[in-house]
């Protein structure tokens, strides 16, 4: 969807923001805007409850910069191959959300490092990561709760510290240590925590609903029955379809029957080069109850995990109008 918007900005604010392309705007809960030159300064200076807006470009963050207040960090896209006029938002370093940062969120960024949530003594609740590409997420306190990770690329094993977390529509290397969570409509590409998928599924993860996923790593038949596994697809060359190790309706296929190239348009692991749309009959109604499986569910035509609106063109008038404001015409592509 493409739309045009005409927006009027106060000249003083616009001049400040356009003086340097990498300036960072932090908007407080009372809609007061403060401009910062670096991400570290924005994190330290922003009022709790603020949203930090990052344009396209590269931003450094020091490892000693800790986030101990509620903040939303919002970029324009984690992808550099979109038509966003400002390019991707890339943060070099790690993000540390510690005590006091409950309710925080990270949206629309590529992070070269990791997102660390909580400490050994402080939990963080109601934390959200969406539309991001990060190395991994690590939760450091088991009392953290209410976490949501949605439509992200997680390049390495993510450890959720035995907290409850909702993981949906992600392309992930692997997940570990979840208690009371939901894992739904994911592509999980690798063996985590050791040699077998069961290490991830049945030692590190308990009381968790696991539905409509594709597991591209092999699956071990050594497991307990504390999890609810329904409508998942597993890759394994030695599994028997009569095995009692599968609970519910969990179809699978062997290497001799199919390859992943028969199922997906492009299987390139945790990468924007992958296209995990399902081919042919795999795309719809593969579960016995008619539920769609895979990362996109019933929207199998979508490939991009970056639905944040992108600015594809913008025009700024050379002079202000009679009220001292400047007219800007922006073309936005939502998806």
Q: Which two tokens stand for residue 151?
A: 């439509």
Spatial CB neighbours of 311, under 8 Å, sequence gap ≥ 6:
76, 84, 85, 86, 330, 331, 332
Classify residue 19 by burial, with Cβ atoms within 10 Å: 0-12, 13-18, 19+.
Answer: exposed
Q: Following CA atoms 63, 64, 68, 72 in sequence, which dihedral angle do they give, to the nearest 10 degrees? A: -30
Please tell me the predicted confidence (pLDDT) of residue 219: 46
Number of CB atoms found within 10 A of residue 76's CB: 26
Please tell me the predicted confidence (pLDDT) of residue 144: 96
How far apart are the C-alpha atoms of 193 and 86, rounded to whole Å?
38
How far apart are the C-alpha atoms of 28 and 48, rounded to whole Å?
8
The domain spans of the chain are 57-308
Look at residues 103, 139, 105 and name the one whose alpha carbon lies nearest to residue 122. Answer: 139
Strand 228-230, strand 252-253: pairing: unpaired
Q: Which two tokens stand for residue 212?
A: 């409509």
Please tell me the predicted confidence (pLDDT) of residue 258: 65
Tell me the pLDDT of the chain (335 aa) as tens digits: 444 444 333 333 333 333 334 688 899 999 898 999 999 999 999 999 999 999 889 999 999 999 999 999 998 889 877 666 678 899 999 999 999 999 999 998 999 999 999 999 999 999 999 999 999 999 999 999 999 999 999 999 899 999 999 999 999 998 888 888 898 888 888 754 433 344 334 447 778 888 788 877 654 433 433 445 666 666 543 444 444 444 445 655 554 556 778 778 888 989 988 988 877 666 554 554 555 777 876 554 555 555 555 666 666 677 777 777 667 666 666 55
Region of 195 (left: φ > 0; alpha: ψ -120 to 50; beta: rest) is: alpha
How far apart are the C-alpha atoms of 236 and 142, rounded to whole Å?
32
How far apart are the C-alpha atoms of 203 and 226, rounded to whole Å?
10
Compute CA distances 286 → 111, 189, 279, 291, 298, whole Å.
35, 20, 12, 7, 11
Please tell me the predicted confidence (pLDDT) of residue 185: 86
Classify residue 284 by burial, with Cβ atoms within 10 Å: 0-12, 13-18, 19+.
Answer: middle
Please tell me the predicted confidence (pLDDT) of residue 180: 87
Please tell me the predicted confidence (pLDDT) of residue 8: 38
Backbone φ, ψ for residue 276 (5° rounding): -90, 25
Please tell me the predicted confidence (pLDDT) of residue 63: 96
Residue written as token pair 């596994």: 229
Q: Which two tokens stand for residue 167?
A: 């993981």
Look at residues 205, 92, 211 and name the one whose alpha carbon lies nearest to residue 158. Answer: 205
Please tell me the predicted confidence (pLDDT) of residue 203: 47
How far apart are the C-alpha atoms of 74 and 192, rounded to whole Å?
30
């Amino acid at each position: 969807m493409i739309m045009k918007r005409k927006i009027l900005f106060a000249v003083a604010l616009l001049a400040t923001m356009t003086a340097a392309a990498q300036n960072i705007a932090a908007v407080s809960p009372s809609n007061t805007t403060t401009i910062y030159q670096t991400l570290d300064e924005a994190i330290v200076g922003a009022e709790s409850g603020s949203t930090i807006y990052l344009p396209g470009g590269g931003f450094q963050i020091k490892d000693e910069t800790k986030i101990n207040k509620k903040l939303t960090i919002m970029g324009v896209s984690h992808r550099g191959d979109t038509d966003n006029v400002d390019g991707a938002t890339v943060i070099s370093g790690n993000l540390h959300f510690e005590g006091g940062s409950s309710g925080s969120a990270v949206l629309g960024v590529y992070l070269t490092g990791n997102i660390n949530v909580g400490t050994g003594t402080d939990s963080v609740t109601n934390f959200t990561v969406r539309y991001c590409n990060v190395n991994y997420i690590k939760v450091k306190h088991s009392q953290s709760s209410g976490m949501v990770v949605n439509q992200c690329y997680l390049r390495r094993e993510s450890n959720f510290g035995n907290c409850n977390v909702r993981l949906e529509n992600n392309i992930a290397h692997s997940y570990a240590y979840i208690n009371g969570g939901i894992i739904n409509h994911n592509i999980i590409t690798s063996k985590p925590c050791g040699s077998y998928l069961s290490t991830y599924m049945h030692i590190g993860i308990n009381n968790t609903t696991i539905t409509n996923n594709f597991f591209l790593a092999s699956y071990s038949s050594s497991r307990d029955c504390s999890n609810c596994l329904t409508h998942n697809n597993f890759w394994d060359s030695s599994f028997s379809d009569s095995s009692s190790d599968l609970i519910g309706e969990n179809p699978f296929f062997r290497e001799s029957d199919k390859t992943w190239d028969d199922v997906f348009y492009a299987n390139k692991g945790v990468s924007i080069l992958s296209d995990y749309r399902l081919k042919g009959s795999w795309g719809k109604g593969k579960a016995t109850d008619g539920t769609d499986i895979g990362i996109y569910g019933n929207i199998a035509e979508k490939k991009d995990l970056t639905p944040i609106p992108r600015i594809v063109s913008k025009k700024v008038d050379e002079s202000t109008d009679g009220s001292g404001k400047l007219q800007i015409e922006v073309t936005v592509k939502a998806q």
